[in-house]
Amino acid sequence: MGKDVIIACDFASVDETVKFLDKLTKIRSEVVACDDITISSRPFVKIGMELYYAEGPKIVKMLKDRGHKVFLDLKLHDIPNTVKKSMQVLGEYGVDMVNLHAAGGIEMMKAAKEGLMLGAARLADKPKLIAVTQLTSTDEETMHRELLIDKPLNEVVRQYALNAKEAGLDGVVCSAFEAEDIHKACGDGFVTVCPGIRLVKDGSDDQKRVMTPDEAKAASADYIVVGRPITGAEKPAEAYDEVMKMFRY
Ligand code: C5P
């Protein structure tokens, strides 16, 4: 299973993304050659709504053609039939990981899985379907006041993860702070995909609770999602290698 670093490519266009990846892979192939390390020169990348809505499916095709694994972070949430049909389309693209909101319920998640597997029928490596539990932008107070959910946040996250497991999903997006609890509730094979990672604790941008890659590893995160510490680094290839070494070795 997993234990991989996913680079969040939060760029505005294909051009910007290609520019970044060219820089990353060109410099990295030199780093790999001289250091004799076995880190993939085609990193796992995450594409979000902004880039996908701006560029459409061609961004996924371009990344797959270049040999990257792709996490398509579109967070689907609609009635089961609509989500099933949409997931079928995404499955046909050959994405490696895709997600939805657990708040859509177990029936919606089951339909999503069915659709995704139909779409990916020709693929030997099936895509992973991951649920977003509670957005980190929604805190406990907002849940109580606006959404009228009166349970503690960690209980809601755990229940949503259990629902996702019951629906046959592969795992959840969560904070690394929640990864151990989720593994306890849902088993070690249930994947945790964790954003909010920083190489140093004082550079957290807008992330409120952060962990370093080695802390996330110790906290039993299966995948970490890292954006600006790599995409905004002066030397992104070196930053990626550092994150990989801290998380995987
Ligand atoms: O740049 P940074 O490392 O903060 O990027 C983290 C990525 O993970 C972004 O693409 C962000 O949208 C995503 N994400 C997050 N927190 C969540 C879910 C997704 O930071 N709860």
- If you average pLDDT over residues 152-167, what whole number do you get? 96
List the catalytic residues: 75
pLDDT over 50 (residue 158): yes
pLDDT value at residue 23: 86
The model carries a pTM of 0.93
pLDDT value at residue 2: 67
The pair of structure tokens assigned to 155 is 């209980």
Q: What is the mean pLDDT of the chain?
A: 91
pLDDT value at residue 25: 78
Testing ligand 1's pocket by substitution, the residue of 178, 225, 231 carrying the most ligand atoms inside 8 A of its CB is 225
Instruction: Could you please state the CATH topology (level 3) that the domain comprising 9-33+41-188 is classified under.
Output: TIM Barrel (3.20.20)
Domain boundaries, the chain: 9-33+41-188
Which atom of ligand 1 sits closest to the CA of residue 206?
4
Share of the chain above pLDDT 70, in %: 91
Query: Which of 82, 84, 19, 8 has its CA nearest to residue 52?
Result: 8
Average the pLDDT over each of 4-8, 20-24, 26-30, 99-103 and give the range with the smallest value: 26-30
Rounded Cα gap, residues 84 and 220, in angstroms: 31
- If you average pLDDT over residues 181-207, what whole number do you get? 88
pLDDT over 70 (residue 204): no
Check if 227 has its Cβ closer than 6 Å to any atom of ligand 1. yes
- If you average pLDDT over residues 52-74, what whole number do you get? 96
